[in-house]
Amino acid sequence: MKSNYAKTLIGSAIAATCMIAATATTATAGQFHNGWNYAIDAIGDGSGGAQYDIYGMATMQTSDTIWVALTGGTPLAGVNTRDARSGVIGWGDLFFNFTGDDFLTASQNNALFGVRFAETNDSGASELGVYSNVRAKSVTSINNGYNSLQHYYNSGFYRQNTMGTDIATRQEAYDYFGQRTSIDNVIASGNLVGGINMHSQQELLNAGLDFGNFNRAGTHTFGFSFSKSLIGSGDYLASLFLECGNDGVALAGVSVPEPGTLAGLALLGVTFMGSKVRKGQKA
């Protein structure tokens, strides 16, 4: 009987671990197609014209890597303009929020993960890569941009899905990013934890990316990937804005632990259950 009891407990621990992985896989929001998770952004909400219009963002996971793809009218190198202090208005940094808190709270607690992927932007991050313990800041003021989301929306650019399908309404955007607070769109501070690999549009297409399925293939599509171990695991909300705050997009998803991590969880569960068995036998 004791032997069967032990087998049952160990089996339950492994089953529970498998359930964690299965639950994480199915917990993502967004729209799924061909292995990618998409946030589809409204068209025509880019203040300043098509060159500042984001069409969508997508993520895809392998066993050890996260891929991110972006599409719209803004090139990776940004748009040359006299309106910006640097002479270029481009993409801000990408943020991952695993905390369950709103963006401002997570930022104030240095609890964001951030990715700098655009070399020409005004990020406080010194080089391209993935950063932990991130606090965000705004650079809209030096890029002829908006001082708040309310300023942006009141200028006539509200659409359904302005921030993508996962933050679909104005109120949802206010609740998460803040209504009258600054649009914090680049890394202010953080710790560099690893690099990224940039990917061309063709490389992304070869990996199954298909914005065209949602009629959202922009004039510029590019992406990057990085090791899954560099960021947290579990439910997240990923978001980014252009440097001017003229458009933004958010995507809800989940980062599933790497297989080695899951195996470690299983071993931990088995060890714990084994301890319970030994205590039961002594009793």
How does pLDDT run across 100-128, given as a tens digit for each residue?
999 999 999 999 999 999 999 999 999 99
| pLDDT attached to residue 1 | 37
Average pLDDT in the 173-178 region? 96
What are the boundaries of each domain within the chain? Answer: 2-282
Q: What is the pLDDT of residue 44?
A: 73
Q: What is the pLDDT of residue 111?
A: 99
Q: Of 167 and 265, which is predicted with more confidence? A: 167
Residue 47: the pLDDT is 72
Q: Which of 261, 200, 273, 266 is nearest to 231 (CA)?
A: 261
> For residue 11, what pLDDT band results from cuts at 50, 70 and 90?
very low
**Tokens 């964001």 appear where?**
112
**pLDDT-based confidence at 76, cuts 50/70/90?**
very high
pLDDT of residue 25: 33
CA distance linking residue 175 with residue 162, whole number of Å: 14
Between residues 266 and 153, the one the model is more confident about: 153
Residue reference for tokens 């299983």: 266
Q: How many CB atoms lie within 10 A of CB 188?
A: 18
- Over the chain, what is the mean pLDDT? 84
Residues 186, 282: Cα–Cα separation, whole Å: 58
pLDDT of residue 29: 52
Residue 30: per-residue pLDDT = 63
Range from 38-52, 125-139, 238-252 carrying the lowest mean pLDDT: 38-52
Cα–Cα distances in angstroms (integers) from residue 11 to residues 4, 20, 181, 273, in the given order: 10, 14, 51, 10
With cut-offs at 50, 70 and 90, classify the pLDDT of residue 41. confident
pLDDT score recorded for residue 16 = 36
> What per-residue confidence (pLDDT) applies to 19?
36
What's the whole-number mean pLDDT along residues 31-35?
Answer: 94
Instruction: Give CA 194 to chain center in angstroms.
Output: 16
Confidence class of residue 157 from pLDDT cuts 50, 70 and 90? low
Q: Over pLDDT 70: what percentage of the chain?
A: 79
- The 3-state DSSP composition of the chain as helix, strand, coil percent (nearest 5) reads 30, 30, 40
More confident residue, 186 or 20: 186
Residue 260 has pLDDT above 60, yes or no: no
Residue 45 binned pLDDT confidence (cut-offs 50, 70, 90) = low
